[in-house]
Structures are given as C-alpha cells and as structure tokens.
Amino acid sequence: MNYDYDFFVIGGGSGGIASARRAAEYGAKVAVAENDRLGGTCVNRGCIPKKLMVYASHFPHLMEDAQGYGWSAVESQLNWQKMVVAVNQEVDRLNGVYGRMLDNSKVELFRGLARFVDDRTVEIGDRRVTADKILIAVGGKPVKPDIPGIESALTSDEMFALPEQPKRMVILGAGYIGCEFACIMNGLGTEVVQVLRGDRILRGFDDDLRETIQNGMQESGIRILTQTEIKRIEETGNGIKVVLEGETEEVLTDVVSLAATGRKPNLEKLGIEQTKVEVKDGAIVVDEHNRTNVENIYAVGDCIGRIELTPVAIKEGRILADKLYGSKDGLMSYDAVPTAIFTTPEAATVGMTETQARKEFGDAVKVYRAKFRPMYYTLAGRDEKTMMKLVVDTASDRVLGAHMVGDHAAEIIQGVAIAVKMGATKADFDATVAIHPSVAEEFVTMR
C-alpha cells in the first residue's frame, strides 16, 4: 500500500525532531506535526530558559566575591523585564534554528494538532495524511494538585513569562524543578518559601547530595518548610495567603508556583483511543525498541514515562530511526545516565546512589567521600562547601556511582560519566593523574 509518508512524527520536541531528521538522512519521506513552538519543553519552558535564568541569578554573588580579589564594590540592580526579554529572544532564535534544521533535512512541518484517525492515519486540522510508521513524541505537561484555590497558582510553564519580579514566592514541592526555581528566584532577590511534604528535597537522589544541597539552599536564605502541606490558597488584598498544615500555619506571598508537583504524558487530544495503543498509568507502553503494541506505532521521550530527560529522548529517537531506516539494531541503555540539578549549589550525578548500591551489593559497597571549601572561596570569604562521592563495589572494584555538589558539577560529572559507563574501577580512577589545582582532581585522589 502507498502512504503519504514513510515516517510521521507527532510532536516537534527534541526527541521527535531528532528522530525525524535521522530518518530523513536515510532517505525516508518524513513529516512532523507540532501545534506549539518547536523544540518542546526543553527549549521553550525548560532547560534553556531555566539555565539562562540560573546564570542571571549567580551575578550578585560573583560581584560580591570579586571584592575578596581586590575589585571595588559594585552597585547593581536587576532589570527583570530586560532579562525576560533577553531570555525569550534566545528561545525565539532557537525556534528558528529548529525550523531551519527541519527544512535542511527536507522534513515537512505541519503546524497544528495531530490526532489519530486510525493506526496509519492522522488528522491535522482539515487535512488527513497516512503513514507507514508513526512516532508519538508529545512530551509531558505539568500536573496541578487538587487544592482549593489552585487556579491562582503558576506551573513551571508560566515561570518564564512573569511580567514583574515577585517580591515573595511560595514553591510547592521538592523535585529538581522546584528546587532549581527556588534557587533562581532567591538568587535574583525574591523571598522564597519552599513547602515539602517530606523532610528532605530531591527524593530518589543520593542522600549526601540531598543533604548538602538542602543545607546550601537554607544557608542562602531559602526558607524550607518540611513535613508541610498546602491546605488552600486564598486571594487577599495584601497578596496570596497560603494556608498550611504543619508547624507553620500560613504564609503571605505574591506568587505560588507549582514547579515541583510533577508532570504527566501529554496524551490528551491525541485521539489515541482511535488506536489500540496500550496506555498504563498515563504513559504509553513500549518495548525495548520503543514500539507500542501496535506494530507500526512507536513512542519516545517523556510520554513513555521512563527517564524524562531531553538527551534521553534524543537518543531514543535517533536509535529508533537508525533501526527503522538505517539497518542498525541498537538498543537504548538506561544504565548510568548522568543528570544535573541546576540548584545553587549545583549538583550532578551518574550511576547508583549509595542506598541503591547497598540494596544490590550489600556489605561489598565502599563509599569514598570528600567535603571541602574550594580554593575560589578562600579569598571570596564565603564558606561554600563542595561534596564529592564515589560508590564502589569492592568485590569487582567497579565504580557504581559518582555524585557531586558544587560549582561546575555538571561539567565535571559529564566526563566522569564516561568512565562509569565503561565500567571503570576505583584503581582506574586512582591511576589517573590529577589536574592540580582543581576541584575535579578530588575524584582521582580520594582515599
């Protein structure tokens, strides 16, 4: 049977575009449908604008630190509107880059919402097209909890478009997105209160990493309310009243952000019920080749509920296209996937946490840990600590996990991740000559 396209991708985010372009390189006739801006969450409402705001939030400390090195004091104020405009201009530029990449790859772009008609037919507006194979790459969206008054709260999607800088902000949740926004806004001068149901942030990460970041956040002035829940949110003449259940009864604020209450696959309006694609716990079920139970329909990225990271979606998409159109039978590996948390202090990690390792390897696990003040802060006069940690299986000497909290943690762990992925041993780390003086050298000198 003849189809309009060999490969039709629903979703113009990082995973969908990567897969579409790779398939087109092999000569497939490819189209992408996107009803929002190209680039998905990462480019438009995630990684890119967030990291730019992280940079902006660091300048007050940098200007203060400079005085310890002999520079005169600097009087400076943030122009919130100028920062927001600059960030959004960069997002606009990247949208254009993605559009040009599709054009250069000869991938046709449909601007609109794509819905399934059947297993091989999708509808975009008033046009129907058929495809031999269809990829679902629709990403995810924020979840709003069922709290009275929740309609006045922002999600992470709206954080980049605030017309004015709030003087006060309450952030609900303890995930990495919420922690990152808490640190960004605190660094920019907003008074931040973060509300946690548990007693510690960043559930699922290594405990030493969690404790070090939380202590650093609190020392920087972020008020963290543990064992606390929001009961309701009320608009008042003096701001927004957040009524709490915990040691603190209420907080008055200008903005409530739900940046850390989770995300879910964006499957609404997809018409997936017109197919037999299996959905479990809100996510599309796929096999190790990212194929659904319908043989010609595939899915990658956040909508499959595995590891919700942009580079993971990109790799899934490219491996899929390589298999379908390049005769390369690769498999996506979810072991030793590195990730960073752009809080202040910054953190990054790869491999097993200490808890995970002890659960699997028991008493054979040995931990190497260092905590110190980096040289930079000696003249700056700040008591900032860096934490570095290796988790090792003594039976094989293999490094199971590496964790770091401190400046440039993401840049450092990216290199360490290669070693961990390759199965490097502690002896391999020890045999590596250190770069001195540097923070990174601690990973090869820990005893």
- Which segments of the chain belong to CATH 3.30.390.30? 339-444
**pLDDT band at residue 130, thresholds of 50, 70 and 90?**
very high
Q: Which CATH architecture has domain 5-142+264-326?
A: 3-Layer(bba) Sandwich (3.50)
Between CA 237 and CA 294 the distance in angstroms is 55
Quick one: which H or E segment has residue 66?
A: helix 47-68
Residue 436 annotated in active site: yes
Tokens of 274: 């017109």
Domain range 150-260, its CATH number among 3.90.180.10, 3.40.50.300, 3.50.50.60, 3.10.129.10 = 3.50.50.60
Per-residue pLDDT tens digits for 180-205: 999 999 999 999 999 999 999 999 99
Arithmetic mean of pLDDT over the chain: 96
- Which segments of the chain belong to CATH 3.50.50.60? 5-142+264-326, 150-260
Between CA 445 and CA 447 the distance in angstroms is 6
Strands 168-172 and 255-257: parallel
Candidates 209, 123, 268, 249; CA nearest to 413 is: 209
Instruction: Say which residues have a Cβ less than 8 Å from residue 311's Cβ, sequence separation at least 6.
Output: none
Q: Kindly indicate whether the domain formed by 339-444 is annotated with CATH number 3.10.129.10.
A: no
Instruction: Say which residues have a Cβ less than 8 Å from residue 1's Cβ, sequence separation at least 6.
Output: none
Query: Coil, helix or strand for 339?
Result: strand
Between CA 319 and CA 333 the distance in angstroms is 11
**Res 81: pLDDT:** 96
User: Does position 87 have pLDDT exceeding 70, yes or no?
Assistant: yes
Per-residue pLDDT tens digits for 317-361: 999 999 999 999 999 999 999 999 999 999 999 999 999 999 999
Q: Which of 289, 403, 408, 436 is catalytic?
A: 436
What are the φ/ψ torsions at residue 368 (nearest 5 degrees)?
-110, 125
**Res 145: pLDDT:** 87
Cβ count near 393 (within 10 Å):
20
**pLDDT band at residue 158, thresholds of 50, 70 and 90?**
confident
Quick one: which H or E segment has residue 350?
A: strand 347-351
Per-residue pLDDT tens digits for 15-68: 999 999 999 999 999 999 999 999 999 999 899 999 999 999 999 999 999 999
**259 vs 147, 155, 255, 440, CA distance in Å?**
15, 5, 12, 31
Strands 5-10 and 30-34: parallel
Query: pTM value?
Result: 0.95
The mean per-residue pLDDT over the stretch 210-225 comes to 98
Whether the CB-CB separation of 285 and 180 falls below 8 Å is answered with no
**384 vs 13, 213, 371, 413, 440, CA distance in Å?**
37, 11, 10, 19, 16
Candidates 445, 429, 140; CA nearest to 302 is: 140
**Res 166: pLDDT:** 96
